[in-house]
């Protein structure tokens, strides 16, 4: 069985006050672990249990896809945040943000607007089109993610209510703004960007 719960990349209280340890208690230990346990129970004893997680996401459907994608998405989300995050991307990614959105401020406005405008549960992504080098902001519904497309995910924000309700109640806009101002891990996005080029 290939599928394990990766450790959080920081202590549970490290993102406070922007994301509380209470949120991470539920979000990591119950939601993320729950998706993993469901996935393991669904694929145990099948050839799918031997696949890499990202391959399983692109080759499965139904409940296996939903569980596998949610495991992958959450790990990507934890890595999209870091204590003392925020600021602006530098180097080639910083240039690509300015070229694709006009300015860093316009990227932030697009990202927050996408989070606010997305109906229901899902994910907000900064993605790269490797064919053109252009960046984009897009949302996906429920468990879907850019692995199903020709674009490369660089960052994600979980906009399922379980991600923010304890800290922000229904204020998804304030949660998205805080993600960009205080938590976003541009180093992780830069690594993903450089790997994809």
Binding site for Fe ion (CB under 5 A): 158, 160, 163
Q: How far is the CB of 174 from Fe ion (least distance, A)?
A: 18
| Nearest alpha-carbon partner for 154 in 197, 176, 179, 125 | 125
Please check whether residue 145 is in contact with residue 123, taking contact to mean a CB–CB distance below 8 angstroms: yes
Using the minimum distance from each CB to Fe ion, give the nearer residue, 19 or 64: 19
Q: How far is the CB of 110 from Fe ion (least distance, A)?
A: 22
Helix/strand/coil percentages in the chain, nearest 5: 55, 15, 30
Using the minimum distance from each CB to Fe ion, give the nearer residue, 107 or 125: 125
Q: How far is the CB of 70 from Fe ion (least distance, A)?
A: 7
Using the minimum distance from each CB to Fe ion, give the nearer residue, 107 or 160: 160
| Beta-strand relationship, 152-158 and 122-129 | antiparallel
Question: Taking CB positions, which residue lies at the least distance from Fe ion?
Answer: 158
Using the minimum distance from each CB to Fe ion, give the nearer residue, 28 or 104: 28
Using the minimum distance from each CB to Fe ion, give the nearer residue, 97 or 163: 163
Query: ω before 17 within 30° of 0 (cis)?
Result: yes
Torsion of CA 164, 165, 169, 174, to 10 degrees: 10
CA torsion through residues 37, 8, 126, 167, sign? positive
Q: How far is the CB of 30 from Fe ion (least distance, A)?
A: 10
Encoding tokens for residue 105? 């401020």
Q: How far is the CB of 77 from Fe ion (least distance, A)?
A: 7
């Amino acid at each position: 069985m290939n599928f394990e719960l990766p450790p959080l990349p920081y202590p549970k209280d490290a993102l406070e006050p922007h994301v509380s340890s209470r949120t991470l208690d539920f979000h990591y230990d119950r939601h993320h672990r729950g998706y993993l346990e469901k996935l393991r129970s669904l694929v145990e004893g099948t050839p799918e249990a031997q696949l890499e997680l990202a391959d399983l996401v692109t080759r499965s459907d139904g409940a296996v896809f939903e569980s596998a994608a949610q495991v992958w998405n959450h790990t990507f989300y934890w890595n999209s945040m870091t204590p003392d995050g925020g600021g602006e991307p530098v180097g080639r990614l910083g240039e690509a943000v300015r070229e694709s959105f006009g300015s860093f401020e316009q990227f932030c406005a697009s990202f927050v607007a996408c989070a606010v405008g997305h109906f229901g549960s899902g994910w907000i992504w900064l993605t790269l089109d490797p064919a053109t080098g252009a960046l984009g902001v897009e949302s996906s519904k429920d468990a879907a993610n850019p692995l199903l497309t020709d674009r490369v995910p660089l960052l994600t924000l979980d906009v399922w209510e379980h991600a923010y309700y304890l800290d922000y109640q229904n204020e998804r806009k304030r949660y998205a703004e805080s993600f960009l101002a205080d938590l976003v891990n541009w180093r992780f996005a830069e690594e993903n960007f450089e790997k994809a080029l």
